Structure 1
Amino acid sequence: MTTTQSSIASGMTRRGLLAGAAATAGTLALYGCSGNSGGTSGGKGTLTVAGQSDNLTQVFNPFLENTAQGLTYTSPGSGGFIYEPLVQINTVDIGHDLPWLAKSWRWSDGNKTLTLELQTGVKWTDGTAFSADDVVFTYTMLKQNAGLNLGGVAFATVTAPGPAQIVFTFDVPSEQLFTEVVSVPIVPKHIWSKVKNPTTYTDKNPVGTGPFKLSTFSAQSFLLVRNEDYWQPKAEITALRFVAYKDNQSMTNALVQGLADWGGTYIADADKTYLSRSKHNNYWAPLAGTDGIIPNLERWPLSDIAVRRAISLGVKRKQVGAATGSPPATSVTGLPMPAYTSQVSAQYKGVNFEEDTAKAEKTLTDAGYTKGGDGYYHKGGKRVEFSISFPSAYTDIASRVQVLVSQLKDIGIKLTVDTTTVNDINTITAKGNFDSTMGYPVNSAPRAFSYYYDTINPNLYYPIGKATPTYQNIERFQNAEAKALFTEYPKATTDAQRQQILDKIETIFVEELPWIPMFYWGSYGNWSTAKATGFPSPDNPYFSPVPNPVVALRLKPV
């Protein structure tokens, strides 16, 4: 769904609300900009990144939402600049994840045991040696404090047979959960074990293993400086300054004015407004996912599949996507194309969404709906009307919704706008207090099964009013066959068996249309090469272009 990061460390991200901006609604969203002179970041070797926050506070606890730490977690699956994960998940070169604090791993016991070998010679920025004890402590803390485990990381046990080895055990085959498990940010046991309540711990002066560490902090920005004793070859850039802006528009203005060097946001008419301003400016959005209307399946009228099908037939996806420069969703499986072509069932290869307004209205009339004098369809004395909830700060979402309001009116369906705040949206959708929204509060791992697991797994169903703890299946989809398939998938032992199960899940998605794909989104990266080179690009797509430590370590100052 929308870009955004799936890093468990920064809390759950809202893809749809970020569509087009590698950021989070649950955390501080990063939006960068490059200028004619490479930005105004100051000293040589220092790059500036602009972020979104209307309340920047000095909180670097990597397990809490809406914190300064959130600005350091920007790339889907990528650990931050201060606290690092065991593995960096690659959402651009799918399947080529990067060893990080763990240098290797293997599954055994029918995919119920995961063993990881750790790097040696790693130190925390206070000089203390890093070891497997830190990893065991971190995961145990998550298991004991549900309020920190926003990623829903689940395992039976975690142990350290030696100072550089970690073993996870699971009650059931769990290879499909690999990306979620290994994305957790590791914190130092010698510091965090003394914290009385980690769910409220601010961690104002974080001690990490990452390539950067905190230097100075203010209400408007903070500076991370290079970790001179980093366990990998240290970064060649010397510092990163994160600057906070209150909303999308402010960040866009900053981008156009050249007030920063690197970031990740959708830019309207980028060729004219951004790229043309300097030969150094670059803009790339590698495909990352699919987005659209996420209905509450327990509220009429979207609980009626006839209405959902009519909407899917009646919308013009190209126009919806064009509102923010996003390509229209094509495959009826909902999987982003062409990245997932190999995992599409044979019966749906090349089968795309149909757009036919006349057929959309016939779908409604065949289901017993009649058009009233107000131009909208009615049934049982009720008008076919629903609202769509999203934060008012996200102007890109607002642009898409305005297109949908007009398109749905043309087929006799009334769509109203229900704006809220960035802080409230995830709570609203988690509890089911909405008619519809755009996008998911989680960003799936770059795997087809994970994509469906997060969005339509009936095993993750919670009744209205009870918050889904991991923000998955927020539309409250229920289907007995799907419930069994999601349980069987982890038990499969071959790729062929896994694909057979996936084929059946795709069929259920196509036939039930639990949510309505509209457009594809990318991890939008913006950067200037005036001060540094080495960023990923279409010619060198080694990782996501939004600010993240993997890229930072490859940058070379000009």
Structure 2
Amino acid sequence: MLLFTRRPGRRLAWTAAAVASVAALSLSACSGSDPAGANGGSGSAITVFNGATGTITENFNPFSPTALQPTLGVIFESLYWYNLASESEPTPMLATGHEWNEDGTELTITTREGVKWNDGEPFSAADVAFTFNLVNETPELNTTGLAATAEATDENTVVLSFAEQSFMQEPEILGNRGIVPEHIWKDVADPVTEVNSNPVGTGAFKVKSFSAQSYALEKNADYWEEGKPAIDEVRYISLETADAASAALTAGQVDWMSAFLPGLEQLLKDQEDLAYVNTPALTTSIYTCSNAELGCEGPQTDVAVRQAIYHAIDRTQLNNLAGGGFAGEGSPTLLLPERDAKWIVDPEHKVAPQTADTATANQILDAAGWTLGADGIRVKDGQKLALTIQTVTGWSDYISLNDAMRQQLKEVGIDLTPTQLSWNEWNANQTGGTFQLSLDSIGLYASPNPYYPYNQRYHSDNTTPVGESAISGNFARYSNPVVDAAVRAAGSTNDEAEQLAQYAIVQEQIVNDLPYIPIYINSTLTEFNTSRAEGWPTNDDKYAFAASWKAWDNGIILKTITPVTK
């Protein structure tokens, strides 16, 4: 599967199967031992494959949902960086401090001194104020719902003012907005359509050359962090087809890529220059169209059916069959059991059951009036317990999941029929609510705080009746006034103890209702060639989210790695 920007302005990510079909990539832009001729034979250079196939379209506009991946984090920087691979405090980038007023209506930010744009002009708080005012004044750019005006009160201080309490906008403001130079962007005629061919940013690298097959970034010699970056050049390549990834990696033609490669450990066994890291972060889940009152149709609108599915699937078997054994244990709270442990209130809800509990599943269905028919399929009020689950053609790991779950659920009298659709049809069904079950992944929000998944996936404000597009994220059409009130209460305070009390309420409801049924934390496998550069993230040191397609984190990794000296 190819690289997708799943929802404009939300996140850049491969869904679980997005990496699966990159099982072998045939190189169009690489040849010989020099990685794509990355540096003309001199200096230190690495080659990155981040999922681009075919023709590359030039776009370095940091406001655009289709900007080329290194735009955010490598060329343009945010005020802070949030490491979603582990529990940690935000890292100061273009800001060195921030403080809210008591009622959460003003956010004062102190900007870093001594920073220059890569054209030599000084960076200041005025650039930060300009960026946020441009977003506020241009609805097409405002993908995060920012409702603030900004004022630079001196060269290193900017104040954002909100009409209402806005503590929970903090991660989007500080960590998910590329700051642009006022002296350039004040003259941009249309910031929505601007391609920004010669991007002026504060990041560790700047654009050196561009073509439809590859593009190169070179180090920013005036970068504000002393001694970084150490790598001279980074080349991003496009590949023509999806049929030789492992060959490209083992041939030394790619230094950094993210792909699910079957038999990865065996593949790397005799390759001393190759390494990998696994950063599970996306919860592969069964989305259910759960709400009959909003037009959902089918047995899955019965909470007992959703509960039975939750208990009847054998997650260990599914991991071995479809996850290559690399998947992590998921949680019915939709949080990451390790990283987010402090936010999971009930220890019994930390992880979903890893083996099938058919006795519990049968008991739930019996109590709900679903009786076993002569053909082994349950029935209630003349309706068979027959469900259709959709996934995308070519998403091989998800197809394997559906095939295995079909057999597992048959054991408790549920008839599951998998279907494969084009991505466009699958996506239209999911956003429009014209599905019963759908396989997708959940994760990578603005910060690890549960407010972000709970607000997006469960709050009534973020859903619509079937037939209307629920682009805000509550595709399950879930509506629960108890959850709505708790999510809003958590979002109105920055007191973690109070937030935790509200999340306890949310978790009690959603673990029972299960509009999204977790399977496992999907593996995010990233591979490195260590012969030219070292200092990559490891399984023991996940200093950043390592995926080659991950915005923001790429800037941290590229300024951390160092050339191998021979």
TM range (shorter): 0.7 to 0.9
Instruction: Show the counterpart of 1:304.
Output: 302
Measure the CA separation in 2 of the matches of 1:340 and 1:212. Answer: 33
**How big is each residue's C-alpha offset from its partner over 1:348-394, in whole Å with a ceiling of 9 and x where there is no partner?**
36674373224324433433334556654444554444444444354
Instruction: Show the counterpart of 2:9.
Output: 11
Measure the CA separation in 2 of the matches of 1:546 and 1:315. Answer: 29
2:109 pairs, out of 103, 116, 119, with 116
Q: How many angstroms does 1:520 deviate by? A: 1.2
1:255 pairs, out of 249, 255, 261, with 249
Q: Does 1:196 align with 2:189?
A: yes
Measure the CA separation in 2 of the matches of 1:389 and 1:66. Answer: 26
Instruction: Show the counterpart of 1:452.
Output: 454
Q: Does 1:51 align with 2:57?
A: no
Measure the CA separation in 2 of the matches of 1:140 and 1:7. Answer: 26
Alpha-carbon spacing, 1:36–1:417, altered in 2? closer, same or farther (3 Å): farther
Tell whether the 8 Å contact from 2:80 to 2:91 is kept in structure 1 after alignment: yes
Instruction: Show the counterpart of 2:153.
Output: 161
Measure the CA separation in 2 of the matches of 1:452 and 1:527. Answer: 34
SS in 1 for 2:506: helix
Instruction: Show the counterpart of 1:319.
Output: 317
What letter matches 2:339 in structure 1? A
1:180 pairs, out of 151, 154, 172, with 172
What letter matches 1:310 in structure 2? A
Measure the CA separation in 1 of the matches of 2:502 and 2:127. Answer: 38
Q: Does 1:145 align with 2:134?
A: no
Tell whether the 8 Å contact from 2:352 to 2:518 is kept in structure 1 after alignment: no
Measure the CA separation in 1 of the matches of 2:162 and 2:375. Answer: 57
1:244 pairs, out of 238, 250, 263, with 238
SS in 2 for 1:319: helix
Tell whether the 8 Å contact from 1:15 to 1:439 is kept in structure 2 after alignment: no
Could you state the TM-score of these two structures normalised by the residue count of structure 1? 0.85
Aligned residue pairs total 534
Could you state the TM-score of these two structures normalised by the residue count of structure 2? 0.84
Instruction: Show the counterpart of 2:79.
Output: 86
2:465 pairs, out of 463, 466, 470, with 463
Instruction: Show the counterpart of 1:524.
Output: 525
Comparing 356-365 with 472-481, greater Cα deviation is found at 356-365
2:560 pairs, out of 551, 554, 557, with 554
Tell whether the 8 Å contact from 1:59 to 1:204 is kept in structure 2 after alignment: yes
Instruction: Show the counterpart of 1:476.
Output: 477
Measure the CA separation in 1 of the matches of 2:448 and 2:32. Answer: 35
Q: How does 1:348-427 map to 2 (within 5 A)?
A: 348=348, 352-353=352-353, 355-372=356-373, 375-411=376-412, 412-421=414-423
**How big is each residue's C-alpha offset from its partner over 1:499-553, in whole Å with a ceiling of 9 and x where there is no partner?**
2111111111111112101101354332122101111223333222234111111
Measure the CA separation in 1 of the matches of 2:16 and 2:129. Answer: 33
Measure the CA separation in 1 of the matches of 2:519 and 2:241. Answer: 24
Q: Does 1:265 align with 2:268?
A: no
**How big is each residue's C-alpha offset from its partner over 1:311-350, in whole Å with a ceiling of 9 and x where there is no partner?**
1111111122231234353544332222222222146366
Alpha-carbon spacing, 1:349–1:12, altered in 2? closer, same or farther (3 Å): closer
What letter matches 1:460 in structure 2? N
What letter matches 2:420 in structure 1? D
Tell whether the 8 Å contact from 2:433 to 2:475 is kept in structure 1 after alignment: yes
Alpha-carbon spacing, 1:304–1:199, altered in 2? closer, same or farther (3 Å): farther
Tell whether the 8 Å contact from 1:19 to 1:522 is kept in structure 2 after alignment: no
Alpha-carbon spacing, 1:368–1:349, altered in 2? closer, same or farther (3 Å): closer
Tell whether the 8 Å contact from 1:195 to 1:201 is kept in structure 2 after alignment: yes
**How big is each residue's C-alpha offset from its partner over 1:10-52, in whole Å with a ceiling of 9 and x where there is no partner?**
83337682478599xxxxxxx9xx9997955544411111132
Measure the CA separation in 2 of the matches of 1:246 and 1:404. Answer: 34
Could you list the runs of 5+ residues in structure 2 that have no partner in the other structure? 22-26, 549-553
Alpha-carbon spacing, 1:51–1:93, altered in 2? closer, same or farther (3 Å): closer
Instruction: Show the counterpart of 1:437.
Output: 438
What letter matches 1:552 in structure 2? L
Could you list the runs of 5+ residues in structure 1 that have no partner in the other structure? 24-30, 74-78
What letter matches 1:555 in structure 2? I
Tell whether the 8 Å contact from 1:249 to 1:395 is kept in structure 2 after alignment: no
What letter matches 2:51 in structure 1? Q
Give the percent of matched residue pairs that are identical in Structure 1 and Structure 2: 27
Alpha-carbon spacing, 1:135–1:285, altered in 2? closer, same or farther (3 Å): same
What letter matches 1:140 in structure 2? N
Instruction: Show the counterpart of 1:207.
Output: 200
Instruction: Show the counterpart of 1:337.
Output: 337
Tell whether the 8 Å contact from 2:20 to 2:397 is kept in structure 1 after alignment: no
Alpha-carbon spacing, 1:62–1:253, altered in 2? closer, same or farther (3 Å): farther
